[in-house]
Structures are given as C-alpha cells and as structure tokens.
Copies of this chain bind each other. A is one copy, B any other.
C-alpha cells in the first residue's frame, strides 16, 4: 500500500470502553491484501441511532437499507465491510444485504430493522450473498469493549492511517463519552463528504434529538471537507447512543442540558473529518479555508468548497506557488454573490488583497514561506454580507494521480 500520509497525526487517542458497545474487526478475505475487512458493533438494548447518508442518485444497497432503518431510530448492530462497496450490484446486492442483516438479527436477537450495514471498496462487483453472513458468528464471538484498534483498521481502504477520535462531555452532572472511527480517503466530497464514519456514545438521547444533533454537527464537519469533489455512492455516518449513562432526560437538541454534548460532538466530527482530509489521496498539505462576508453561511460554504475543489488552487498549493489569482477565479465561479471590488484575500494571515486591490506593501516571499509548511490557511472576505464558513481540503499532487490512475490493479 501507500506510505503513511505526512499529515497524519503524531499520536492517536486510545478509544476507551463505552458502556453498551462491543466491537470486533477481522480479516475475512474481501481485501486481496488479507488485511482486516469486516467490522461489527453490538449496541445495548434500547440504543438509539441517527445517520447521514450520501445524496448520490446511485446509492449502494447498504445505503438504501440504512435509509429505511433510520426512520425507526433504534439499533442493536452495525456491520461494515471494506474491500467491496456492494454498489451498483442490482438485486444481487440487495440479497447480500438481506442475508447479512438476517444473520445479524439472529445473532443479536433483534428485529432486522435494528441492524445497520455499510460497505466500501470497489463498485460494481457483487459479493456472494452469504459471504458476509457466514463470517458473522466468528465476529460475534470476538466482540469486546476494547476492540477499537481492529475496528478502525477493518473499515480502511486507501487510508494510510486509521482515524479515531474521543471526546467527553457532561449532561447534567454525568460525564458521557463520545468516540468515533472514520475512513476516507478518495471520492471525498459533500454532500455527504466521504466515506464511512461510526460514532458511539453512552449518553441516552432520543433518536429524533440525536438526528437533529448529528445533522447540525455534520453540516459543520463532514459536509465542509473535500478531497476531490467526487461524491461516493456509499457515504454513511452513523451515531449510536446506548443510553447506559444515567443523566437527566434529554428532550431537545437545544438548551443548556445538551450544550456540552453538542459542542463535543461537533468537535469530534471535525476531528474525524479533518483526519480524512489529512489522509486525502496524495495529500502533502492540509488546507483550511475561511470564508466570510458572504450573503449567507450556506453561500460561504459553497464559495469555500469552490476554492477547495479547484484543481488549479490545489495544484498551486502543492507547488508552493502563491498564485492567489486562482482564489479570485474560484470565488468567481462559485455561483454565489461576491464583490470583486471588495474582495480581501490572505494566506497564513498575510494580507494579499484588501477590498479588491493588492495591498501596497505585499511581500510575496512571506506567503511563499507559509506555503512551504504543511498546514495552509486561506482566508477570503467576499464583501457582500455576514455569511461565514470554514472548509477543509488538501493539495492535489502527483500522489493523487498515482493512486487513482490504476486503483484496481
């Protein structure tokens, strides 16, 4: 496989046991490399679930299944394989899901609709209908509150490091834990940006409230990242709450009681989402784009993504070229209101243009120095309103071409 991304975090948190969650990750032969490729999570009785799924018009069979299941809001098991996306596999794909779900329901003694599935890997190659279901008893046996390292590896595809994050929060006087895993690392774009991510908490939160919290946090994290503007057929983010922690009843997604959890969830998802970007295929530089002065927050996000998706911006950053004219271009093409004659641009906090003109004492060498780093900051004020957003991306390098010009062989 490919060398570890130079942007990989130096240390990773260890995911602690979360009351009501047991996990396992194993190799079952879906990946030709023989690496781990099947992940199962067991959730305690009474667990609630929320999810965000790809908006692709050609979603995978597992995505279709999850969309139906989320309306029930309850979950007892999550089964995820890598190595094969089970996408564009027609009726055969549906049969694979049915067999997997039936076997999991039997093992976990729950209704089928409380089993959630996700798949990632090659598109268009059917998996044998009972290939995954036959492995489940083995994973069921191996379930452990401490199986997170194996779990995070089992969902990887072209990822060069496993993505994990942990947060703590208080609901009333009770400390709850949030922990999640994610995988990238190509075909990453809103909506939903990327990929697969599974987040677990021991908090007790009704499904509707959980969904509202996830939607909000997702819009500020996974829906603000892009690697290559390509939206996957399989994007799935699930958040399960086991309800094992004892705290005052949560009835709303707003208010003081849930404020700490809300903040921790957003922080956790931003952590995972930016790890996905840092492992973007071929990424050498991590880019944070702050847009303000847009007509609305949504407009700011679209402008940020136009910058973050622009191959010309991304190649310039890869080359350390302070070619800020390409930022002007990208703002212009975003399809949102912007005032060329009030546009301010800075790189690494160094002002380049202010209100539509290059600053008089602009010193390009300072910007070039910033561009030699691994973490690049771009800030843009488009000068028409109060909308703001932050978007994350990576540079576009030879590595991306190498990885993707011959992905399957």
Given contacts A401-B398, A405-B315, contact A88 B325 (CB under 8 A): yes
Q: Is A58 an interface residue (CB 8 A)?
A: yes
Q: Kindly report which residue of chain B lies nearest to residue A323, judged by CB atoms.
A: B408
Do the beta carbons of A328 and B187 come within 8 Å of each other? no
Q: Is A212 an interface residue (CB 8 A)?
A: no
With beta carbons under 8 angstroms apart, the residue of B231, B333, B408 that contacts A329 is: B231
Do the beta carbons of A186 and B312 come within 8 Å of each other? yes
A213 to chain B, nearest CB (A): 26
With beta carbons under 8 angstroms apart, the residue of B310, B356, B401 that contacts A397 is: B401
Do the beta carbons of B230 and A56 come within 8 Å of each other? no
Inside 8 A of A406's CB, which chain B residues have their CB? 319-321
Inside 8 A of A378's CB, which chain B residues have their CB? none
Q: Kindly report which residue of chain B lies nearest to residue A122, judged by CB atoms.
A: B325
Instruction: Tell me the bound Cα distance from A139 to B85 in angstroms.
Output: 61
Inside 8 A of A123's CB, which chain B residues have their CB? 325-326, 328-329
A351 to chain B, nearest CB (A): 14
Q: Kindly report which residue of chain B lies nearest to residue A337, judged by CB atoms.
A: B57
Q: Is A209 an interface residue (CB 8 A)?
A: no
Instruction: Tell me the bound Cα distance from A10 to B333 in angstroms.
Output: 34
Q: Is A288 an interface residue (CB 8 A)?
A: no
Do the beta carbons of A228 and B85 come within 8 Å of each other? no
Do the beta carbons of A407 and B321 come within 8 Å of each other? yes
With beta carbons under 8 angstroms apart, the residue of B57, B319, B330, B409 that contacts A338 is: B57
With beta carbons under 8 angstroms apart, the residue of B57, B312, B325, B341 that contacts A332 is: B57
Q: Is A87 an interface residue (CB 8 A)?
A: yes
Inside 8 A of A232's CB, which chain B residues have their CB? 329
Inside 8 A of A343's CB, which chain B residues have their CB? 58, 88
Q: Is A353 an interface residue (CB 8 A)?
A: yes
Copies in the complex: 2
Q: Is A229 an interface residue (CB 8 A)?
A: yes
Q: Is A201 an interface residue (CB 8 A)?
A: no
Contact code string A334-364 (vs B, CB < 8 Å = 1, else 0)? 1111101101000000000100111000000
Contact code string A182-208 (vs B, CB < 8 Å = 1, else 0)? 000011010000000000000000000
With beta carbons under 8 angstroms apart, the residue of B230, B333, B338 that contacts A189 is: B333
Tell me which of A54, A56, A330, A398 has the highest count of chain B C-beta atoms within 10 A of its own C-beta: A56
8 Å CB interface, A141-185 against B: none
Tell me which of A57, A310, A320, A323 has the highest count of chain B C-beta atoms within 10 A of its own C-beta: A57
Instruction: Tell me the bound Cα distance from A329 to B123 in angstroms.
Output: 9
Q: Is A108 an interface residue (CB 8 A)?
A: no
8 Å CB interface, A289-335 against B: 309-312, 315-316, 318-321, 323-326, 328-335
Q: Is A254 an interface residue (CB 8 A)?
A: no
Inside 8 A of A56's CB, which chain B residues have their CB? 329, 332-333
A377 to chain B, nearest CB (A): 19
Inside 8 A of A336's CB, which chain B residues have their CB? 57
Q: A57-B340, A231-B329 are in contact. List 19 more A-B contacts (CB 8 A).
A: A57-B334, A58-B328, A58-B338, A58-B340, A85-B325, A87-B328, A88-B340, A88-B353, A88-B356, A90-B357, A124-B358, A186-B312, A228-B311, A229-B229, A233-B332, A311-B400, A323-B408, A397-B401, A398-B398
Q: List 12 A-B contacts (CB under 8 A).
A: A88-B340, A90-B341, A90-B356, A123-B329, A124-B328, A231-B329, A231-B333, A318-B405, A319-B404, A321-B407, A323-B407, A323-B408
Which residues on A are within 8 Å of B, measured CB to CB?
54, 56-59, 85, 87-88, 90, 122-124, 186-187, 189, 228-233, 309-312, 315-316, 318-321, 323-326, 328-338, 340-341, 343, 353, 356-358, 396-398, 400-401, 404-409
8 closest A-B pairs (Cβ-Cβ)? Answer: A123-B325, A319-B405, A58-B332, A56-B332, A315-B404, A231-B333, A319-B406, A58-B340
